[in-house]
Structure 1
Amino acid sequence: MKKINSAFNKAMSFVSARIDQVSEFTKPQKKFLKWIIEIWVMLPVRHNFLNVYRYSNGQYSEKSLRNQFERKIDFPALSDSVFSPLKEKECIVAFDPSFIKKSGKKTYGKGYYWSGKDGQTLPGLEISSLALVDVSDETAYSLEAVQPPAGLKDGKQMEHYVNIIGQNKDRILKYTKYVAADAYFMKTGFIEPLLKMGIQVVTRMRQDADLKYLHKGPQKSGKGRNRIFDGKVDVKNIDKRRWEVCYQDEDVCAYESVVWCVSLKRIVKVVYLKYKKTDSYSILLSTDTELGGEKVLQYYRLRFQIEFLLRDAKQYTGLEECQARSQTKLYNHFNLSLMAVSLMKLTCWATQQNKSQIPFSMRRIKTWYYNKYITETIFSNLGIDVRPVKVCF
C-alpha cells in the first residue's frame, strides 16, 4: 500500500536515513530500529515485549524482540547522526537523575533512590539523563540515559555522574561547553572534574552561600601578600553598589557580579535573583566568569526542559513500563523511550515554520500514528488498494 506523503511519514523517512548513516549499527539493528521507533511511538498500551509483538503484524516474534533488546544499541552514535544539524545552533547540555518505579528483587540497579515527586527515598531504579537543549527553540533532546549500580554511597554516586559526562565529553564539546544542573550538583566533587574536561557548569547555590567580594582597590605598599578579598557577601541584603542589573521583569530583578566562592575555592560569576512579589531570593552560579548574567539565568531556566522530556517519555513512550531485568535490556528500553520523544520533537515540531505558535504535543503525534496503524491494518486485511486511480482523457 502506498504511504501518504505527510509530515509524519517524512519524519520517519528522515529517521530511517539517519539510522543508515550510523556505522556502529549492524544491518539487523538498522532494520529493527527503523521498525521499532514507529511502533514505540504508536503503541497505545504498556510498552513491553508481549504488547509490541501483538502490534507487530507478525514482523517480529516476542522471542525475537527480547533477542534484539539483549544486544546493546549505541544510542549516543544515533544521537550524533540525528542531532548533527544542531551543531550550528546555540546549545547547552542539561543533566538530571530521574527516579523510575520498579518492583522485583532481581532487577539490575534496584535500590533506594530519591523521588522528587514524592519528596522521599523510595525503592526503584534511577537513570542519569543527558539532554541537548536547543536555546533558540527552548527544547531538549536526549543524548543518553545510564543507570547507576545499586548500593552506591554518596561519594561514589557523584563519581558515577561525573563518569557519565566524561564518557560523553567529546560529544558534548561538539555542541557546547556548558552543562546545566540543579542545586544538588553544586559540589566540588562534580564541578572540579568537569572543569578539567573543559566543561563549564551552570547551577544554583544554597541560600546561605559563602561568597566574598574581590578587592579591586589599590594595594598597600611594603612587604606582605596583596589584599585579595574585600568583605563577605551578605546574601540576605546584598550591597547593590557592587552588583550590576543584568535582567529585570515584573517578577524578578537579577544582579550579576564576579566573586570568590569559598566552597569551590575559585572565582565565579554569580547571578542574584530578587523576587519582587515574595521578597525571596535565589543565587545562580557559572564557573565561566565571562558568561553574561542574563545568559546564566537563561541557561539555568532551560535546564528544566529535560524535565519535560522525561515527563513525555513517562506518559507516552513507556519510560516506566519496562518489565525486563537485565542491564542491557533496561538500557535499551530507557533510551528508546527518550529517543522516540526526541525524534518526534525534532522532525514533527522543530521543522515547522510556525512552531512558536504551536506547542509540541506528544499526545497528538501518538494519536496520529495509532490512527495510521489502524487504517493500514484494516485496508490490508480487506485487501483494498487505496492508491489513487489515474484517469486519462
Structure 2
Amino acid sequence: MNVLAILKDFTLRCKSVFENTTTKMSKRFLNWLILTIRTVALIPGKVNFTRLSRYGGRTAKTFASNFKTSVDWMKVNIGMAQDCFGPADDMAVVIDPSFISKAGRLTYGIGRFWSGVAQRVKRGLEIMAIGAISLSKHTCVMLGAVQSPNFRTLESEKQMSMLDWYVALVRSKATEMLSLTDILVADAFFSKYEFVNEVIGMGFRFVGRLRANSYLRYLAIPDSSATRRRGRKKKYGEKVDFSNLDMSVFTSFIYEDSKGNKNRCHTAVIHSRALKRDIRIVVCPVENAEPLLYFSTDTNMRPEKIIGFYRTRFQIEFGIRDAKQFTGLQSQQTRDRERLDFAFNLSFTALNVCKEVIRKDYPDLSVAQFKRLMFESYLASTVISTCGKSPHLKIIQKINHRLALLAA
C-alpha cells in the first residue's frame, strides 16, 4: 500500500464523482469543493471553519463565504448510489429524522426535538436524512439532508405540524428520489394515514412497520353457497388476532437474514383501518414478546423483500453515525441557514466519497482507519514538500511502512 498516494487517489476519485454528474458549477468552485471534501476527509476531530483553514490552505473567511453557494447534492449522491448499487431492482429510498446537538439562541431552526440516543426531547437542531439502500449490498449511500424548522415556527408562520412538514419535504424531493426507485422506507412513526396516503399519491410504494396493537381486518371472502340478501355486501371479516392467526388466510414461509439466521414468518393481504387501505402484512413472531409487523402498500411485493427493506433501513443510522464521528455532521461553526444546509450535505457527500474510495481501492480498511491514513499521508506530504528535496527511495519506503503501522 502506497500511503503517500492515498491523497492523490482520493482527489482523483472525487473529481470522477463530479464529472459523472449533470450538476453545473464553475471550474474554480469545483476545485475548491474537491479540496474541501478532501480536507473534511482527513481532519481528525471536529470540522469547522478554523480547522478547515488550518488543513485546507485557505482562509476561514473563504470557506465561510463559499458555504453559502447552492449545490444540487442529491444529483451528485444519486450518481454515486447508481454507480455503487447498479440495477434498481433491490434499491429503496430511506428517510430518517436525526437530532443534531447545537448550542446558542440565534442559530436557524434551533428548538426542541426528539433525540433517539437520549430517548427524550432536547434542545438543538433536526435534519431529515435521505439515503438509498440496497438489499444485495446491504449498505446505504447518503443522498442528502434537509434541516427541519422548529415546531413553533411551523405552527405560527406556516400552520403546519411536523408531519405536514415531512410530507412537504418528500414532495419537494420526489422527482429526484423517483428517478432512483419508487420504494420508500421509513420507521413506524411515519406509518400514519396522512403521510402514507400522500406519498402513495406521489408515486411511491411505502414499506414500514405497524404497532402490535394495530386494528387490522381480514378481507371478506364471498360465499357462493350463501343465500343472497339485500344491502351492501360485507367488505371485511373479523379483526386479526396475532396470537391466533387464521392460517387459511395467512401463508407461512422461512425467512433467512444476511447472517444465516432463519425464522418462520407469516404473510397475508389484509385491511388496515388506520391507513384506510389493503396492505400486505408480514408477521414475524418474537419469543416472549409481541410480534413484529412489517407491511407494504404494494400487495404484490414479496414478503422477503418487505422484511429485507425494513431491516436494511437501519443502515441509514450507521451513515448518520459515521457522518457525526468522521465528517463533522454536528460540529458546524455557523448559524446561517444556507451555510448549515451546505455543511450537513457536505458531511454526507464526504462520507460517501470516503466509502467509495474504500470500496474500490482499500476494501480492508474501516472509515476510521482510512481517515487516519489520509491524515498521516497529508502530514508526510507536508513534511516532504516543506523540506524542498526529493528524499531517497528507502526513506519513502520507511515512511510508508511507518504510516501503515500507525493506521493499522
TM-score by length of 2: 0.87
Aligned to 2:188: 183
User: 1: CA distance between counterparts of 2:27 and 2:34?
Assistant: 11
For the 8 Å contact 1:140–1:342, the answer to whether it is kept is no
Partner of 1:179, secondary structure, is strand
Residues 336-379 of structure 1 deviation map (CA, whole Å, 9 limit, x = unaligned): 11111122212322x369x6xx5x62101101100110010000
Question: Contact 1:211 / 1:232 at 8 angstroms: preserved in 2?
Answer: yes
1:159-199 CA distance string (max 9 Å, x none): 22122221221221222111111110011111111001110
Q: Percent identity?
A: 28
> In the alignment, which residue of structure 1 is the partner of 2:405?
none
In the aligned structure 2, how far is the partner of 1:163 from the partner of 1:142? 20
Matches within 5 A, 1:260-299: 260-276=271-287, 278-299=288-309
Q: Which amino acid aligns with 2:129?
A: S
User: In the TM superposition, what are the counterparts of 1:246-265 in structure 2 within 5 Å?
Assistant: 246-248=253-255, 252-265=263-276
Over residues 303-343 of structure 1, what are the superposed CA-to-partner deviations in whole Å (9 max), with x where a residue is unaligned? 10000000001111111111200001111111111111122
Within 5 Å, give how 1:212-223 maps onto structure 2.
Answer: 212-219=217-224, 220=226, 221-223=228-230
Aligned twin of 1:91 = 91
Matched to 1:17, the amino acid is: S
SS of the residue corresponding to residue 166 of structure 1 reads helix
Q: CA deviation at 1:65?
A: 0.7
User: SS of 1:208's equivalent?
Assistant: coil
In structure 1, distance between residues paired with 2:4 and 2:119: 47
Alpha carbons of structure 1 residues 23 and 310: separation in structure 2 relative to 1, 3 Å: closer
- The structure that is helix-richer by fraction is 2
How far does the alpha carbon of each residue in 1:141-168 deviate from its partner, in whole angstroms, 9 at most, with x for none? 1111001112235952112212222122
Q: CA deviation at 1:230?
A: 1.8
User: Any stretches of 5+ residues in structure 1 without a counterpart?
Assistant: none
Q: Determine the structure 1 residue equivalent to 2:17.
A: 18
Residue 336 of structure 1 aligns to a residue whose secondary structure is: helix
How many angstroms apart in 2 are the aligned matches of 1:292 and 1:189? 25
CA contact (8 A) 1:92 1:178 kept: yes
- Report the Cα offset of residue 388 of structure 1: 6.4
What is the alpha-carbon distance in structure 2 between the residues aligned to residue 387 and residue 88 of structure 1?
48
Shift of the 54–352 alpha-carbon distance from structure 1 to 2, 3 Å rule, reads closer
Q: Kindly state the Cα deviation for residue 51 of structure 1 after the two structures are TM-superposed.
A: 0.9
Offset, 1:248: 4.0
User: Is the aligned partner of 1:72 residue 2:41?
Assistant: no
**For residue 141 of structure 1, what is the aligned residue in structure 2?**
141
Residue 159 (structure 1) aligned with residue 157 (structure 2): no
Note the 1:220-369 alignment, pairs <5 A: 220=226, 221-248=228-255, 252-276=263-287, 278-349=288-359, 351=360, 358=364, 361-369=366-374
**What's 1:103 paired with?**
103
Q: Deviations over 1:42-86 (max 9, x none)?
A: 001311101110112x3x111111111122222112223333334
Q: Residues of 2 paired with 1:334 and 1:51: CA distance?
A: 16
Whether the 8 Å CA contact 1:188–1:263 is kept in 2: the answer is: yes
Q: Structure 1 288/142 Cα, relative in aligned 2: closer, same or farther at 3 Å?
A: same
2:162 and 2:44 map into 1 onto residues whose CA distance is 36
| Larger CA deviation: 180-189 vs 338-347 | 338-347
Q: How does 1:29-44 map to 2 (within 5 A)?
A: 29-44=29-44
Note if contact 1:271-1:284 (Cα within 8 Å) is conserved in structure 2: yes
Q: Rate the CA distance shift 1:12–1:373 in 2: closer, same or farther, 3 A.
A: same
Deviation of 1:103 after TM superposition, in Å, equals: 0.3
Q: Distance in 2 between matches of 1:11 and 1:208?
A: 50
Rounded Cα–Cα distance in structure 2 between residues aligned with 1:216 and 1:346: 52
Indicate the structure whose relative CO is greater, using CA pairs within 8 Å and at least 6 residues apart: 2
Once the 2 structures are TM-superposed, how far is the Cα of residue 264 of structure 1 from its aligned partner?
Answer: 1.0
Q: CA RMSD in A?
A: 2.3
Q: Which runs of 5+ in 2 are unaligned?
A: 395-408
Query: What residue identity is the alignment partner of 1:125?
Result: L
Task: Give the C-alpha shift of residue 22 in structure 1.
Answer: 3.8
Native 8 Å contact 2:271 2:277 kept in 1: yes
Shift of the alpha carbon at 1:229?
A: 1.2
- With normalisation by structure 1, the TM-score equals 0.90
Give the equivalent residue in structure 2 for 1:171.
176
Alpha-carbon distance between aligned partners in 2 of 1:99 and 1:3, rounded to the nearest angstrom: 36
Number of residue-to-residue matches in the alignment: 379
The 1:226–1:87 alpha-carbon spacing in structure 2 relative to 1, beyond 3 Å, is farther
Cα distance in 2 between the residues matched to 1:29 and 1:156: 38
Partner residue of 1:63 out of 61, 64, 88: 61
Q: Structure 2 counterpart of 1:94, which letter?
A: V
Mapped to 2, the partners of 1:325 and 1:79 lie a distance apart of 25
Q: Write the distance in 2 (CA, Å) between the matches of 1:28 and 1:254.
A: 56
Residue pair 2:3, 2:373 contacting (<8 A) in 1 also: no
Distance 1:82 1:269, change over 3 A: same
User: Residues 148, 225 of structure 1: CA spacing in aligned structure 2 closer, same or farther, 3 A cutoff?
Assistant: same
